[in-house]
A and B are shown apart, each in its own frame.
Chain A
């Protein structure tokens, strides 16, 4: 009986904690992309392609083309 009461009380507390944000002031979810994460992904891809340039698996012109594409994609 005691365990049941404690659990019920716990359930009420958990639900109150979960519902608590609804009583705060309304605000919109930010819609921006993570600039940091996007930039990190572009730099990482370009760094990997530079290794390919050293190993002659990509032409300089193609590297520039891909880099430009990635930067364009990241700005959309």
Chain B
């Protein structure tokens, strides 16, 4: 089966090369026979790479440790679900997964556009096949997932130090990845990363084929929406995983690999909004091409950052042998591919620059069209800060040979004002009138939202002042943090009120048209799913802003050494350690994948017990020296009470219990849920009225 997977990848690479040649011929000669051959090559590649994924999964499930990848990322005692997810646990497996998604998406995109947009396909397919060819080249010649560890006679064929091979039952998957959220998080991210290749290819394809305006292209819009949604959900799942698995009480640390997924999401957000303006007014064509090209390149850059090992990160799961010459390293090859795609895109944009001139003018600084320009500028600035923060340490190290990493101290002062400005524009753009910024219109639509925003601002300042001396001392220590917090609260209520007011007015109009009250409540989502789905996403963003603002400002941390029966006060809760339990830690792991130490905690608010929590440390057979955290959380809309076993002394029957009180973290996950529902709603086809 391994040889089948290996051959399948090799043949797929051959098909990609043929497809590239045939797509160039089809583009230049407009000969449909070559295009049909390209389409078949795309189907063939997707079949073959799916076959190789099945082969690798079979090897993982059958514990075939003759395959180096299986030995490195799986273990006989590993649960079957983590044997399957080991596909994206290592570099070559995750590249195979990337390639498979791209092949399947390309085949689907070609199928959906075969009838309607045939003329765009030669150059579109060329770009998709170029990307596929690149990944297939890597898989065949650089990071083959079917590389053998031992041959048929059991002789070692891969170079490994003998001590590394003592794990005869497999090295096993990184314990941090043995978590159900980590099983879902990477595929979601990859769906997003890979999905952006389709609108990228279609928009450049349209340019290449001299299509003046791409406002009608469902392929660009829907694929971009799908990719944006999956990438966003992937990022949130990653945040949730970090929250429950790493034991530091937070969910986002501006880690380079977190940022790697955030960058294409930001430019994808900008593209989706800016593309709306192209649909309605034919404007921002150059912006849109720039955003989608940047999004695609940042997706590749994100994959490169995660997998090349160039950055130190808890999320970076790839390391390369430093003895490999620089020009053969994966990082260099990735950079070369990105440079190639950048050149192809830039040449195409330059040659078709006349098509990107819309001829439409912005007529007012307060019009809806101009609001979207502000949004473009702000999102571009936001992305620039993140790209600079991620990339500058790489150059710094190359020049000075010293390490540099940017954390919250670098990002927060730069990002927060931009983020708040985005929140403001998000609200204003929803009420701004088309073509002309009419003051009367603004006054009519903003009275209630302004009142709501100001009331929330005053209430939050009043609550703060009621804190007395404690608040004054904290304000003195970090005044800007509080200014941002109050602004965030005011703007969140302002934006929410705009959305709710418009929704209520739309429902009233539907009732006015004779619709039943019940029908009218759903009418906005049925008649205008994209807009009201978008508003749900905006409400989700507001929840995210509030959750981030409160949890980042008011997080408190506690730690106490406790014995069974001890009671300790942690902020608003009293915690009692009932028992400290553990599996038999002295014996060998045998057939077990992990062993646990756990604390039974009861959590009391006054006389009432509010939760029973069981934080753990887990020793995995694959890495028994480093027990991982399994935190336990009592979550309410107001705050999370987050507990962990920070340390223990079993001889003394003592545990060091760590705790965090994180205000309003649940709002992040509520926001994520609203974004998911809103994004799915926006994908629903519009019903004609």
B117 at the interface (CB under 8 A from A): yes
**CB <8 Å contact, B212 and A33:** no
Cα separation A42 to B280 with both chains bound (whole Å)? 8
Contact with B30, one of A4, A15, A28, A76 (Cβ below 8 angstroms): A28
- Cα distance A21–B410 when bound, in Å? 57
Docked pose: A50 CA to B521 CA in angstroms: 18
Whether a CB of chain A sits under 8 angstroms from the CB of B530 is yes
Taken together as a complex, chains A and B put the C-alpha atoms of A33 and B118 apart, in Å, by 9
A41-B215 CB under 8 A given contacts A56-B444, A65-B435: yes
CB contact list, B519-562 vs A, under 8 A? 527-528, 530-531
A44 touches B34 (CB 8 A): no
**A20 CA to B493 CA in the complex, in Å?**
62
Contact A31 B11 (CB under 8 A): no
Are B3 and A29 neighbours in the complex by a CB distance under 8 Å? no
- Which residues from A are CB-within-8-Å of B436? 59, 62
How many residues of A are counted as interface, with CB atoms below 8 angstroms from the partner's CB atoms? 54
A17 touches B40 (CB 8 A): yes
| Interface membership of B600, Cβ < 8 A | no
- Chain B window 1-15, contacts with chain A (Cβ cutoff 8 Å), 1 for yes, 0 for no: 001100110010011
Q: Across the two chains, which residue of chain A brings its CB closest to B279?
A: A45
Contacts A11-B11, A57-B431, A74-B216 given; does A26 touch B33 at CB 8 Å: yes
Decide if B505 is an interface residue (CB 8 Å cutoff): yes
Residues in A18-38 with C-beta less than 8 Å from chain B: 18-22, 24, 26-34, 36-38
What residues of B have a CB within 8 angstroms of the CB of A34 in the complex? 115-117, 216
Residues of A within 8 A of B118 (CB): 29-30
A69 to B33, CA, bound (A): 37
Known: A34-B116, A48-B528. A14 touches B11 (CB 8 A): yes
Q: What is the minimal beta-carbon distance from A68 to any residue of chain B, in angstroms?
A: 12
Count A-B contacts at CB 8 Å: 157
User: For residue B32, which residues in chain A have a CB less than 8 angstroms away from its CB?
Assistant: 26-29
Contact B34 A33 (CB under 8 A): no
Check B689 for interface membership: any CB of A closer than 8 A. yes
Q: Are A19 and B116 in contact (CB under 8 A)?
A: no
The answer on a CB contact under 8 Å between A47 and B31 is no
CB within 8 Å for A24 and B33 given contacts A51-B506, A54-B509, A62-B436: yes
- Complex Cα–Cα for A62 and B33 (A): 46
Distance, CA A62 to CA B434, complexed state (A): 7
Q: Which of A33, A52, A69 contacts B282 (CB 8 A)?
A: A69
B4 and A3 form a contact (CB under 8 A): yes
* Contact indicator B215/A11 (Cβ below 8 Å): no
* B213 contacts partner chain A, Cβ-Cβ < 8 Å: yes
A7-B4, A29-B30 given; A51·B11 CB < 8 A = no
* B residues contacting the other copy or chain, number (CB 8 A): 61
Interface pair B506/A18, CB less than 8 Å apart: no
Q: Known: A17-B40, A22-B37, A54-B506. Is A47-B528 also a contact (CB below 8 A)?
A: yes
Contact of A73 among B44, B282, B435, B689 (CB under 8 A): B282
Question: What's the Cα separation between A76 and B360 when bound, in Å?
Answer: 16
Given known contacts A37-B117, A41-B215, A14 and B15 CB-to-CB distance under 8 angstroms: yes
Q: Would you give the shortest CB distance from A73 to chain B, in whole angstroms? A: 5
- Contacting A51 at CB < 8 Å: which of B15, B41, B531? B531
The reply to whether the CB of B337 lies closer than 8 angstroms to some CB of chain A is no
Cα of A57 to Cα of B435 in the assembled complex, Å: 10
Q: Which residues of A contact B213 (CB under 8 A)?
A: 73, 76
Query: Is B576 at the interface (CB under 8 A from chain A)?
Result: no
Per-residue interface assignment for chain B, residues 108 to 132, with 1 indicating a CB less than 8 Å from any chain A CB and 0 otherwise = 0000000111110110000000000
Alpha-carbon separation in the docked complex, A15 to B435 (Å): 55
Minimum C-beta distance from B1 to chain A (A): 8
Specify which chain A residues have a CB less than 8 angstroms from the CB of B215 in the assembled complex. 41, 45, 70, 73
- Closest chain-A Cβ to B650's Cβ sits at a distance in Å of 52
Instruction: Taking A40-B218, A59-B435, A66-B435 as given, write out 5 further A-B residue pairs in contact, using a Cβ cutoff of 8 Å, ordered by the A residue number.
Output: A8-B7, A29-B31, A66-B434, A69-B360, A76-B212
Cross-chain pairs A/B with CB under 8 angstroms, 27 sampled: A8-B7, A14-B11, A15-B18, A17-B40, A18-B40, A21-B36, A22-B33, A24-B33, A32-B119, A34-B216, A38-B216, A41-B216, A44-B686, A45-B215, A45-B279, A47-B689, A49-B280, A55-B506, A57-B368, A57-B445, A58-B435, A65-B435, A69-B281, A69-B360, A70-B280, A74-B216, A76-B213
Q: Please list the 9 inter-chain residue pairs (A to B) with the smallest Cβ-Cβ separation, ordered nearest first.
A: A34-B116, A21-B36, A41-B216, A7-B7, A58-B434, A38-B216, A18-B40, A11-B11, A62-B435
